[in-house]
Amino acid sequence: MSDAVMNYITLNDGNKIPSIGFGVFMIPADGSTYKAVRVALDAGYRHIDTATAYFNEEEVGKAVLESGIPREEIFVTSKLWLSQYGYEGAKKGIERSLTKLGLDYIDLYLLHQPYGDVVGAWKALEEAKDEGKILSIGVSNMTPKLWNKFVSQFATLPSVNQIECNPFSQQKKMRAIMDKDNVKVECWYPLGHGNAELLKHPTITAIAEKYGKNAGQIILRFETQEGFITLPKSTNPERIKSNLDVFDFTLTEDELQAIRNMDTGTTSHDPDADGVGDYLLNAFKIED
């Protein structure tokens, strides 16, 4: 058990979420996910982020249940895949995730991609929340255009929008819309997917030297101070631990502004591009 410090953020539905989570995207379900999640939990993480389309929900759930940590202390996120959209499909998808995870409830469940029958799927998430199967619900990969298209049709607001977000891609337009309703940003690719240009940026390296931290820790501290929920991923035990060790220092306002000035206003993935929905729908086959 670790003595790592954890900060929590209160969502717009009143639930609290750890501000740093451990992401398991692209970690294989060959025992590697189980092992990485156990390392993360031992290091002090209390938020694990998986998805139907990661194909490793089972190992995440097993690691959570075998960790010896009370279930209510671990925040588990999963996501519904496009092929499960629509009201009836989403109801089945939620049950599938619960079964794969081996859990009685999921702390946060997201619509993984904003295409197809998003509104029908959202209705199923709302019902599952009312039934206590899911505690919080949210969306992922929504741009301002997609947000305005779909969220206006929802009976209740999402609690989060999980989007690509890091110092080069700060999502200022999307955040301005979300901030009005206290919808929180969750960052995927929070370290720019290992982008050397980001990790070796002189602004980042100078601040890292000042605090005796590595570049990744400075970036993650920036994101947490901006009020983001951030989801770094690693299978390296030392990196898993160091990514959580960011709450023993505070960036100054000048340092925050210097990093804000690094924003390019662009992302590596464009959810608004033609054909993205169709491409993603065919990218993964989810077995019942």
The model's pLDDT over 40-52, given as tens digits with 9 standing for 90+, comes to 999 999 999 999 9
pLDDT computed for residue 64 by the predictor: 98
Exactly one of 54, 85, 109, 189 is catalytic; which is it?
Answer: 54
Residue 1 inside a domain? The answer is no
Which residue range is the domain that position 167 belongs to?
15-281
Q: How confident is the model at residue 83 (pLDDT cuts 50, 70, 90)?
A: very high
Q: How confident is the model at residue 77 (pLDDT cuts 50, 70, 90)?
A: very high
Residue 33 inside a domain? The answer is yes
Mean pLDDT value of segment 219-229: 98
pLDDT computed for residue 193 by the predictor: 85
Mean pLDDT value of segment 200-221: 98
pLDDT tens track for 168-189: 999 999 999 999 999 999 999 9
Mean pLDDT value of segment 87-108: 98
- Please report, rounded to a whole number, the percentage of residues in the chain having pLDDT higher than 90: 93
Annotation marks residue 54 as catalytic: yes
Residue 50 inside a domain? The answer is yes
User: What is the average pLDDT value for the chain, to the nearest integer?
Assistant: 96
Beta strands in the chain (DSSP E): 8-10, 16-18, 22-23, 47-49, 75-80, 106-111, 134-140, 160-164, 184-188, 229-230
Mean pLDDT value of segment 20-32: 96
Residue 199 inside a domain? The answer is yes
pLDDT computed for residue 2 by the predictor: 45
Query: Rounded CA gap, 89 and 96, in Å?
Result: 10
pLDDT of residue 288 exceeding 90: no
**Of 183 and 195, more confident:** 183
- Helix 118-130 and helix 87-101, axial crossing angle in degrees, nearest 10: 50
| Cα atoms in the Cβ-side hemisphere of radius 13 Å centred on 176 | 4
pLDDT computed for residue 82 by the predictor: 96
Residue 220 inside a domain? The answer is yes
Alpha-carbon torsion 185, 254, 214, 73, what sign? Answer: negative
Choose among 97, 113, 12: nearest CA to 50: 97
Q: Into how many domains does the chain fold?
A: 1
pLDDT computed for residue 4 by the predictor: 60
pLDDT tens track for 238-259: 999 999 999 999 999 999 999 9
Residue 286 inside a domain? The answer is no
Query: Rounded CA gap, 48 and 22, in Å?
Result: 5
Q: How confident is the model at residue 1 (pLDDT cuts 50, 70, 90)?
A: very low
pLDDT of residue 67 exceeding 80: yes
- Residue 23, domain CATH: 3.20.20.100
Distance between the two ends of the chain, CA-based, in angstroms? Answer: 36
Query: Rounded CA gap, 80 and 88, in Å?
Result: 12
Q: How confident is the model at residue 280 (pLDDT cuts 50, 70, 90)?
A: very high
